[in-house]
């Protein structure tokens, strides 16, 4: 063979060897890829978690192709961002930077690939416009090229992208392009398989939920039930499969329990219903059921799925809550809320028909006494029996309600359109109730006789609101109590005027306390020689519009509302300030100042502490302050009164018993009290000259005081004759118009300068 032939044969052998080597490489790559596919499929069949399988896929691809750095990114649920599932060979800072990458055109290789839904090849990331915002990041990570292959589901929706990076500028050959496509398909298979398995798991969990579930065919015959169905109904799956759904249920009029539900389902895709069903044991229960159509790929109904839950307990609880919202649990009568609803409807009906109605507000007399003496159990028995009696005598159209405590309301509808006749009808019912509730009650082992007070308000189309009717009936009831109880009163508009005036006065009184519109007036007190010894401080209210308001007008209201507490505190503070001022003058430095203490103020737990705090604020000689107390205050709780008086007595405070002789005047309690003075009430002084009885009473009071070593002062002294008689009987201290009226402090000081004050003696 010549050299030319030898060279040709040699070249031919080289080509054949290269072809053989390339084919061997291809076979090896194919085998490796086949092994990779099999391994990934094995992971899928083992139900391994998605992140694990994806990571294994990336690692195995990189092991087979060492020059490749791979990543798999998945599209989030809203389809707007990409999230890294596996990129084990990329630096952490790089993965963190691209986590949540926005999908869009020009957003790197992967963001653009997903946005366009097609393969993107960038051979040099430092030069390509898609990487303009990520060049520095890629440079830090040592990345020069990036190829990205998106993968989609069967509906064409992009699921994610398979990315391949290189550390040098490079472009894929056809084999590498084929590999990319194959890897992406494998990633798609992993994602869809895991999602499908997850959906199956969710479906299985849902099917075995706490709700009963049934799958039927189009003939409504049961194909499958879950465990919850058996637990709720008592029927095992084999007992119901093949039966029509509802065949074992509670039938009504020969109809399947779900008949109406199936009927409704003809017009819609899903129906919700509430039915009474029956368990295998025969026990009935309430169930909430949903029946849904299941359609095939052609939109034809292939099955029905029914889910239901036993709502017997929750329904009962709802009914109980509803009952508690509208009924009183003790008496089973409607409560205030239900009464208001019915009263609103009654007012509307009255407008339509022109007929009157009436509201009877009933309050049990002395109920608190019964509760305190015999206990709440007996009190509850009375409340229940009153409810039973009221219900027994009224028409079905009437309403009896308990508002709370011992208050009941009876609402009468359909009374005469004539007001006088309606009044007579309501009054007749009211008298009937008075008589009925006066009959003895058997309360456990006790027999108890009770009375009630009833207020009646008629209502018609003239009434503005239900609040007015209730308020008017309530006002009338209080009028019945005020007139001795065991009676009834109809609402009188004049009552409303009185109540309104009282509310206005209370508002003004609160404002007066806030703005300190009060002033102390001082009425001089003298001894038998005509020397001033002090004064009594009397509060006056200087109203900016009404002028001076009498204490007789506002003090009772202050005591009812508790406003007497801040008022009393103000009086105490002002009295201490005045004593401090008197200390500066020779004539007044030994003057005593008397102030009146109300029962509410005296019996307050911290009364002594309040006085002490006032003394600390204003340093005075405590013995110059005198508290005037009435007998009723002291007798309410004699032990508490003595304890408080002794505590205050230790501070030096004096005590005067005001209005002595008008109350109990018991010597038994009189000797227990640490008093300094008795005050003869002006009612005995007024007729002292003409009335022998008054003279005898005054003489007795003075004698008692002397025997107990107490001083005596007479108030209301207005004439020389009264003064002379009092002096003859041994009274040495006086107060009254004869010496001076209550006046502001400036006028009081002027009075002290008048030398002729002793001329009256």
Q: How confident is the model at residue 449 (pLDDT cuts 50, 70, 90)?
A: confident
Cβ pair 454, 432 in contact under 8 A: no
- Tally Cβ neighbours within 10 Å of residue 693: 9
CATH number for the domain harbouring residue 38:
3.30.450.40
The structural domain count of the chain equals: 4
CATH of the domain at 443: 3.30.70.270
C-alpha closest to that of 575 among 537, 621, 619, 623: 537
Please report, to the nearest 10 degrees, the dihedral formed by the alpha carbons of residues 121, 122, 128, 134 taken in order.
110
245 and 349 part of one domain: no
The region, left, alpha or beta by phi > 0 then psi within -120 to 50, assigned to residue 485 is left
261 or 662, higher pLDDT? 261
Phi, psi of 553 (to 5 degrees): -85, -40
Same domain, 260 and 212: yes
> Are 178 and 291 found together in one domain?
no
Residues 451 and 544 in one domain: no
Contact (Cβ atoms closer than 8 angstroms) between residue 730 and residue 690: no
* Torsion sign (Cα): 596, 598, 601, 607: positive
Residue 603 half-sphere exposure, CB side, CA atoms within 13 Å? 14
Residue with tokens 């809320």: 337
Task: Mark residue 70 as left, alpha or beta (left: phi above 0; alpha: psi -120 to 50; beta: remaining).
Answer: beta
In this prediction, residue 20 has a pLDDT band, given cuts at 50, 70 and 90, of: very low
The Cα–Cα gap between 47 and 521 comes to: 97
Residue 498 lies in a domain: no
How many other C-beta atoms can be found within 10 angstroms of the C-beta atom of residue 125?
Answer: 24
Q: Is the domain of 653 the same as that of 752?
A: yes
pLDDT tens readout for residues 649-708: 999 999 999 877 666 556 677 778 899 999 999 989 999 889 898 899 999 999 989 988
420-447 residue pLDDT tens: 888 888 888 988 999 999 999 998 888 8
pLDDT at 467: 85
Residue 499 falls inside a structural domain: no
Task: Give the residue, 360 or 192, on which the prediction is more confident.
Answer: 360
Question: Would 256 be classed as within a structural domain?
Answer: yes
pLDDT at position 15 = 42
Residues 457 and 527 placed together within one structural domain of the fold: no
CB 242 within 8 A of CB 221: yes
Averaged pLDDT for residues 95-124:
93
Whether 145 is covered by a domain: the verdict is yes
Rg (CA), the chain: 50
How far is it, in rounded angstroms, from Cα 698 to Cα 704? 10
Among 174, 202, 230, give the residue marking a domain's end: 202
**737 domain-assigned:** yes
Q: What range does the domain containing 681 cover?
A: 518-760
Would you tell me how many other CB atoms lie within 10 Å of the CB of residue 465? 11
With 50 as the cut, is the pLDDT of residue 2 above it? no
Residues 490-499: what's their mean pLDDT?
66
| CA nearest neighbour of 458 among 505, 413, 495 | 413
Confidence at 498, pLDDT banded by 50, 70, 90: low
> Could you tell me the two tokens for 358?
């009436």
738 domain-assigned = yes
10 burial level (CB within 10 Å; 0-12, 13-18, 19+): exposed
Q: Are residues 212 and 196 in the same domain?
A: no
| Cβ–Cβ under 8 Å, residues 213 and 307 | yes
Both tokens of 57, joined, read 């896929």
Domain boundary among 152, 182, 202: 202
The β-bridge partners of 361 are 409, 455
Q: Are residues 569 and 710 in the same domain?
A: yes
Last residue of a domain, one of 139, 167, 202: 202
Compute the average pLDDT of residues 43-57: 84
Residues 6+ apart with CB under 8 A from 310: 212, 232, 285, 286, 287
CB atoms within 10 A of CB 203: 10
Same domain, 181 and 230: no
Task: Find the length of the chain.
Answer: 761
CATH number at residue 295: 3.30.450.20
Q: Round to whole Å and give the CA distance between 620 and 200.
A: 91
Same domain, residue pair 196 and 48: yes
What pLDDT score does 34 carry? 64
What number is the average pLDDT over the span 49-59? 89
On whether both 643 and 746 belong to a single domain, the answer is yes
At 339-348, the pLDDT tens digits run 989 998 888 8
Exposed, middle or buried, 65 (CB in 10 Å: 0-12/13-18/19+)?
Answer: middle
Instruction: Tell me if 466 is assigned to some domain.
Output: yes
Specify the range with the lowest mean pLDDT, choosing from 17-21, 115-119, 354-358: 17-21
- Together in a domain, 525 and 567: yes
In this predicted structure, what is the pLDDT of residue 18? 40
Q: CATH number for the domain including 599?
A: 3.20.20.450
Position 150 pLDDT exceeds 90 = yes
Q: Is 152 exposed, middle or buried (0-12, 13-18, 19+ CB in 10 A)?
A: middle
CA distance 348 to 629: 56
* Phi, psi of 174, deg, nearest 5: -65, -40
CA–CA separation, 500 and 482 (whole Å)? 18
DSSP state of 91: -
Q: What are phi and psi of 458, to 5 degrees?
A: -75, 150
Is 312 a member of any domain? yes
Residue 250 confidence (pLDDT): 54
């Amino acid at each position: 063979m010549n050299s030319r032939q030898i060279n040709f044969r040699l070249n031919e052998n080289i080509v054949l060897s290269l072809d053989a080597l390339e084919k061997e490489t291809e076979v090896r790559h194919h085998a490796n890829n086949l092994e990779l596919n099999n391994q990934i499929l094995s992971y899928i069949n083992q139900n391994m978690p998605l992140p694990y399988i994806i990571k294994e896929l990336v690692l195995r691809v990189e092991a087979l192709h060492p020059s490749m750095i791979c990543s798999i990114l998945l599209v989030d649920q809203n389809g707007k961002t990409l999230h890294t599932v596996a990129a084990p060979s990329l630096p952490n800072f790089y993965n963190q930077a691209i986590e949540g990458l926005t999908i869009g055109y020009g957003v790197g290789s992967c963001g653009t690939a997903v946005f366009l839904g097609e393969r993107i090849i960038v051979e040099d990331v430092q030069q390509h416009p898609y990487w303009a915002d990520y060049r520095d990041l890629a440079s830090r990570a040592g990345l020069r090229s990036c190829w990205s292959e998106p993968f989609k589901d069967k509906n064409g929706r992009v699921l994610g992208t398979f990315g391949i990076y290189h550390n040098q500028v490079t472009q894929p050959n056809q084999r590498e392009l084929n590999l990319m496509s194959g890897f992406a398909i494998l990633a798609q298979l992993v994602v869809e398989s895991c999602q499908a398995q997850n959906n199956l798991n969710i479906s299985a969990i849902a099917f075995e939920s706490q709700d009963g579930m049934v799958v039927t065919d189009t003939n409504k015959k049961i194909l499958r039930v879950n465990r919850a169905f058996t637990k709720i109904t008592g029927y095992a799956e084999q007992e119901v499969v093949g039966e029509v759904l509802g065949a074992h249920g509670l039938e009504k009029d020969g109809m399947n329990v779900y008949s109406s539900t199936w009927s409704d389902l003809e017009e819609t895709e899903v129906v919700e219903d509430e039915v009474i069903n029956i368990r295998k044991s025969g026990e009935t229960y309430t169930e909430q059921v949903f029946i849904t159509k299941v359609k095939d790929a052609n939109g034809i109904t292939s099955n029905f799925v029914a889910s239901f839950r036993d709502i017997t307990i929750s329904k009962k609880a709802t009914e109980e809550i509803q009952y508690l919202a509208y009924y009183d649990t003790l008496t089973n009568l409607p409560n205030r809320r239900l009464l208001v609803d019915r009263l609103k409807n009654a007012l509307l009906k009255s407008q339509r028909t022109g007929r009157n109605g009436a509201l009877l507000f009933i309050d049990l007399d002395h109920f608190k006494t019964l509760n305190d003496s015999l206990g709440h159990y007996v009190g509850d028995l009375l409340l229940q029996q009153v409810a039973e009696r009221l219900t027994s005598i009224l028409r079905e159209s009437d309403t009896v309600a308990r508002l709370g405590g011992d208050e009941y309301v009876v609402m009468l509808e359909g009374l005469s359109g004539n007001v006088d006749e309606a009044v007579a009808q309501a009054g007749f019912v009211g008298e009937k109730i008075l008589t009925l509730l006066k009959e003895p009650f058997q309360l456990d082992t006790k027999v108890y006789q009770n009375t009630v007070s009833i207020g009646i308000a008629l209502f018609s189309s003239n009434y503005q609101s239900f609040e007015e009717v209730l308020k008017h009936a309530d006002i009338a009831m209080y009028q019945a109590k005020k007139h001795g109880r065991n009676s009834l009163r109809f609402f009188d508009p004049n009552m409303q005027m009185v109540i309104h005036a009282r509310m206005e006065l209370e508002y003004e009184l609160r404002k007066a306390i806030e703005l300190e519109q009060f002033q102390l007036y001082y009425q001089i007190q003298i001894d038998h020689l005509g020397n001033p010894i002090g004064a009594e401080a009397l509060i006056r209210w200087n109203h900016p519009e009404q002028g001076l308001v009498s204490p007789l007008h506002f003090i009772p209201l202050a005591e009812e509302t508790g406003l007497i507490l801040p008022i009393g505190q103000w009086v105490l503070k002002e009295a201490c300030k005045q004593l401090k001022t008197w200390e500066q003058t020779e004539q007044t430095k030994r003057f005593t100042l008397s102030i009146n203490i109300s029962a509410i103020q005296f019996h307050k737990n911290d009364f002594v502490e309040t006085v002490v705090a006032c003394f600390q604020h204003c340093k005075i000689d405590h013995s110059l302050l005198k508290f005037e107390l009435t007998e009723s205050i002291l007798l309410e709780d004699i032990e508490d009164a003595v304890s408080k008086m002794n505590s205050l007595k230790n501070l030096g405070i004096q005590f005067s018993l005001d209005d002595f002789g008008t109350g109990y005047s018991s010597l038994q309690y009189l000797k227990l009290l640490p008093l300094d003075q008795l005050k003869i009430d002006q009612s005995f002084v007024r007729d002292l000259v003409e009335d022998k009885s008054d003279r005898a009473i005054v003489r007795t009071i003075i004698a008692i005081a002397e025997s107990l070593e107490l001083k005596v002062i007479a108030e209301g002294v207005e004439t020389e004759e009264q003064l002379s008689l009092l002096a003859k009987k041994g009274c040495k201290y006086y107060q009254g118009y004869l010496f001076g009226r209550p006046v502001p402090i400036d006028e009081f000081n002027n009075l002290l300068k008048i030398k002729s004050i002793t001329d009256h003696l």
